[in-house]
Structures are given as C-alpha cells and as structure tokens.
Structure 1
Amino acid sequence: MQHLPESLATERLMARKLKYEDAEEIFYAYASKWEATRYVSWPVHQSVADTNKYIRQAIADWEAGLAYNYSVRTKMDNKLIGSVGVVNDRGNVQVGYIMSPTVWNNGYATEAVSGLLKKLTTWKGVYRIWTFVDTGNVASQKVLQKTGMVEEARLVKWFRFVNQNNQPRDCVLYRWPNG
C-alpha cells in the first residue's frame, strides 16, 4: 500500500502530517483536556513533553505505514483545533479523531472525518474502514452518522478507556458502507 498524502484539505480545514512544532498547540487545544480525551485510547497529557512523545511515535508510525495522524487547522486563521487519523492494518483501516472542546458543535469533526474518508475511498488496498465509539459518546456517534458511516454492531465491554477509570466499556462499531 502507498502512503497517504502529507496534507488534506476540505472547505474550511487543512490537515497535515503531525510535526514536532505542533506539540504546544496540541497540548493546550485538546491533549491536556479531560473532556476532550475521555473517549480516546491514550491518557490525558500532563505536559508538553507527553505530547512530544506522542508526536515522536506518530511520526515513526507514519514512516512505517502503520498509522497516519494529521493535525487539523482552520483555513481562516491556521488555528490547530484537533487531529484526525487512521491506523492501517494491511487495508483494514481504523479511523480516529479528536477536537478541541472550544470548537465543538461547529461541524469541524464531521468535515475533517468526511475529508479523510473521501481520501481513504481512493486508497489502493483498503478493504474495510471502521471505528468504534463508547456508547456514552453520543456526540461522536452523531458525527459518524453524518459522515455516512453506519452502525454495524453493539460491543459489550469492548474497550478500556484509560481516562474512564480503565473499566471495560460498551461500544458501538461503525463501518464505511463502501469499504
């Protein structure tokens, strides 16, 4: 499989490969915010050093073709507002995203994920595009539905979210209907 491009664009957003110079913005925009990170797989960051470690791993994963993580910025003012990305397991592609609480309810998550899905549908070798979300994360479920992803299954005690006391949580599995 080929690599994804280092940048993507939508009407209001630019997404580009994570870079070390993004660390401080990422930390303050969402990585240090419990309300933003409560439904992600990694612990809330305590310092910019934690964010730098995350970026180091993201860059290594990109180069290895394992995962592709983008910073998401508004075109209007170049403000970093979130991240979108994929984990690639030989064409079985999991989508993920996070947005700063300061921009919630503006359609940015839907737009960023839709832009990524559009690119993934042209990526050679992809046979499945999917993600999962905690059943309590209703806002994220709405985002996925707006992008065209469809619910595939309810998963009992599927995942331990580190920022949810590491207890097994029920999740909803979504898939892209054409992949």
Structure 2
Amino acid sequence: MYIETERLIIRKLEWEDLNGVFHIYQDQETCQFLLHDPWTEANKEQNFTEMIEKSDLEIDRAVNLAVVRNQHVIGLFHVWYTEMKRTVEVGYTFSKEYSGKGYATETLKAMIDFIFKHHDVHRIQAVCDDRNVSSEQLCLRAGMRKEAHFIKDFWNKGEWTSSFVFGILREEYKR
C-alpha cells in the first residue's frame, strides 16, 4: 500500500522506520489516550516487530502504516476489520511536533478515500477516549459523524474511561 497526498506519503512500515516510530511512542503525552504505555528502549523492537507484521488489510485483516513527510515518520495509521461484516476501524497517532499543521486531517481523509475506493467496506469507524479533544475534532473535520458517547465503558491503564464512536458509511461519503 502506497498513497501520496499533497504533502505526505502513507505506506507500509519498513524496518528503517523503527526509530521514527519509537520517537512517537516513547512520549508519555502522546500515549496518554492510547491503549498501551509509552515504549521503552527495552521493548521497542518487540513492539515494532508486532506492528510491522500487520502489513496487509486483505491477508492480515489489519495494517499498520507509516505517515511520512520529507523522509521522516511523523505519524502512524492503523486499519483493521471489526467483527461486523464489511466494517473497519481506524486509528492514528502523530508526533506532537507535527500537531496543528493539518497532517492528521490530510491522512484520515486520504485513507477514508482509499479504503472506500479499494476495499469492499460498508462502514469506517473510529473510537477514541472522550478526553481526546484533538481526535474528536479530527474525526469531525474528516467528515465522520459522532454516533455514540459511552460513559466509563472501557477499563484502561487502571481507570474506567469513556469513549466516543465516529462513523461514516460508503453511501454518505462524498469524494
């Protein structure tokens, strides 16, 4: 998978991306609303190995992609099939050095377009911690609809957290 946008390249992860991905995931603030703790030197290779193994949406039913600007990994984008027929969920993480510049919006819009054009998907959804205002705003900017607000529905990092669910259907997607 290789996608070019106006300013970015979205592609499969490569081993050369290890340190760029580690830079993103070692940050406590970046990992605040993610399901995992920050990476450490001790676990970065194992974590990256698990991530790079998911490289094909058709074969693996999931894919982890690098978002690259000027040959630097500035973010990650994840797509996986849910248990519901023809439904995928997406997730994303970007380096805080690149926040506020529209890269996440550009990536999410490009990926929504790519998924609907190249895969037999009925629905794309995103789930985020309701405290993650940036993620909420990103989904809305990308044309997703806020569909649900679940209160204290997910146990994560020693506390009950609340979730927003966003979605977009193939038939309502405007190309």
| Shared fold per TM-score greater than 0.5 | yes
1:39 equivalent in alignment to 2:7:
no
Give 1:57's aligned residue.
50
Shift in CA distance, 120/21, structure 1 to aligned 2, threshold 3 Å? same
Give the AA of the match of 1:156.
Answer: I
Unaligned runs of 5+ in 1: 1-5
Give the stretch that moved more between structures: 62-71 or 135-144.
Answer: 62-71
Equivalent in the alignment of 1:169:
161
Q: For 2:108 and 2:160, how far apart are their aligned partners in 1?
A: 26
Q: Is 1:88 aligned to residue 88 of structure 2?
A: no
1:132-156 superposed Cα distances (whole Å, 9 cap, x missing partner)? 1111111111111000011001112
User: CA RMSD of the aligned region, Å?
Assistant: 1.7
Conserved in 2, the CA contact under 8 Å of 1:150 and 1:177?
Answer: no
Task: Specify which of 123, 126, 145 is matched with residue 121 of structure 2.
Answer: 126
Deviation at 1:81, TM superposition (A): 0.6
Paired position in structure 2 for 1:3:
none
**TM value normalised by structure 2:** 0.88
The runs of 4+ residues in structure 1 deviating greater than 4 Å are none
Equivalenced residue count is: 167
Q: What's the % identity of the aligned pairs?
A: 25
Structure 1 length-normalised TM: 0.86
Shift of 1:23: 0.8
Where structure 2 has 5 or more consecutive residues not aligned to the other structure, the ranges are none
Structure 2 counterpart of 1:100: 95
What's the offset of the Cα at 1:177? 3.7
For 1:132, give the aligned amino acid.
Answer: V
Determine if contact 1:31/1:45 at 8 Å carries over to the other structure.
yes
| Secondary structure of the structure 1 residue equivalent to 2:54 | helix
